[in-house]
Each structure stands twice: as C-alpha cells, then as structure tokens.
Structure 1
Amino acid sequence: MRACRPASRLEIEYCTPCRWLLRAGWTAQELLTTFTTELGEVALIPGTGGVFDVRLDGETVWSRKMQDGFPELAELKRRVRDRIAPDRDLGHSDRR
C-alpha cells in the first residue's frame, strides 16, 4: 500500500507575445490526462521573453531556453513521471 502524498502543482510559464498559450494549454491537457490523480493543479502563467518553462512543485522540469527548444511530449511525461509516479508505466511514451 502506497503512502498518501499530496498532489503536485505543475506550472507552465509561456510567452504571451510569442502566442504560446495554445501550446501551453495543450501541454497542460496532456499532462492532466496522464497524471489524473498525481497532479492537484496546473497553472498557466503568462510571461515574456520567449519563456516556456515547466515546473513541478517549484522545480524546473523543462526550460525552452536551457534545453534549446520545446519538449517532446513523451520526454516531458517521462520527466514528470520520474518525479511524481516513478513506478508508473507510460506505455508508448516510455519507448525512446
């Protein structure tokens, strides 16, 4: 039996002048669909300067500037899974 732990908060900060709201919303939808019980909330945070950062409980999971591009969804799901549900099988997303 697994110990009950509080659901995580995921933040997606996206660049509004770059018009990345749809990308941020789609990413949030995909992560909420995959991690239905592990994510307690997802926040979309407007930003500027080409930002597209994904943070989980305050820790950066993906930064467009640091990783030099947008995340592939399968890679992002693996990174989130490794932090909040390491035993979970992601099916086809686990195949690299």
Structure 2
Amino acid sequence: MSSGAPLPRVTITYCTQCRWLLRAAWFAQELLSTFHRELGEVALRPATGGVFTVEVDGELLWDRAERRGFPEITVLKQLVRDRVAPDKPLGHSDAKAAAGASDAAAQDGPADADPPADDLPADDALAADGG
C-alpha cells in the first residue's frame, strides 16, 4: 500500500425502488472481507428503475439486466479478483470455477431471484407487485 498508487474502487449501483440496499450491502461486505488489502473502497450508489450493476474503476463487471439476474458471490469475487488481484487465490471459490461455475454465472429463474444466502431477504414479493 505504500506504493502511492490509488487502490481500485468498486461501485455497486442498486435500485432503491426494488429495495436492493441490503443485497448491495451484503455484496459490499463480502468484497471488502475478501479484498481488504486490494481495494481502496466499495461504494454503494442508489438509483431507480431496476438497476443493479457492479463496476471496478468504471469498468462494468456485472449488469443485472444484461445477465438476467444477480451474480453468485463466488462469480462476483472471481470477476473482481481478475481485475484487482489476478494472482490472489480464492480457495473454494476457485474450486467451483474449475467445476463449471461459468454455467452458474446467472441464476436460473426470475431475474430478481436472490443469491443463495440465508441472511438475505427475498425480493420476489416486491418484484411481483412492481415495487
């Protein structure tokens, strides 16, 4: 960190109308826990219109609309790692990639399905009424 070069910034843009703040905060916490030495910051940017994107220094890594769903956390960590610390091992996250996580990059089912985490609230009811 003493090199003087600024560390990368991750920006998670989330829809406030869809109530995706908790999901965005959970992704931010996971990224900060994994890349605590490699990232300068993780910013949460509120938006509207069903937006959920993840960027590193302005480079789009994930767009919920384009990918038709939210990322699995292991996939998101791999995408961030590839940009900020390509040589960093991710342990079990890398093992999943070798077993074919590219097929699981976007979840099956509705575009607003939750990532598999018991501590996240389901948004299905909110999405069903358009809110």
Report the TM-score range of the alignment, normalised by the length of the smaller protein: over 0.9
Structure 2 regions of 5+ residues with no counterpart?
Answer: 97-131
Structure 1 regions of 5+ residues with no counterpart?
Answer: none
Displacement after TM superposition at 1:95 (Å):
1.7
Displacement after TM superposition at 1:6 (Å):
2.4
| Larger RCO of the pair (alpha carbons < 8 Å, separation 6+) | 1
Identity over aligned residues, as a percent?
62
| Cα distance between partner residues in 2 of 1:70 and 1:54 | 10
Please give the secondary structure, in 2, of the residue aligned with 1:87.
Answer: coil
Partner of 1:71: 71
Instruction: Give the structure with higher Rg (CA).
Output: 2
Q: TM-score, normalised by structure 1?
A: 0.94
Partner of 1:39: 39
Across the two proteins, how many residue pairs are aligned to each other? 94
Matches within 5 A, 1:8-87: 8-87=8-87
Q: TM-score, normalised by structure 2?
A: 0.69
| Cα distance between partner residues in 2 of 1:61 and 1:42 | 14
| Cα distance between partner residues in 2 of 1:69 and 1:95 | 22
Q: Which runs of at least 4 in structure 1 moved beyond 4 Å after TM superposition? A: none
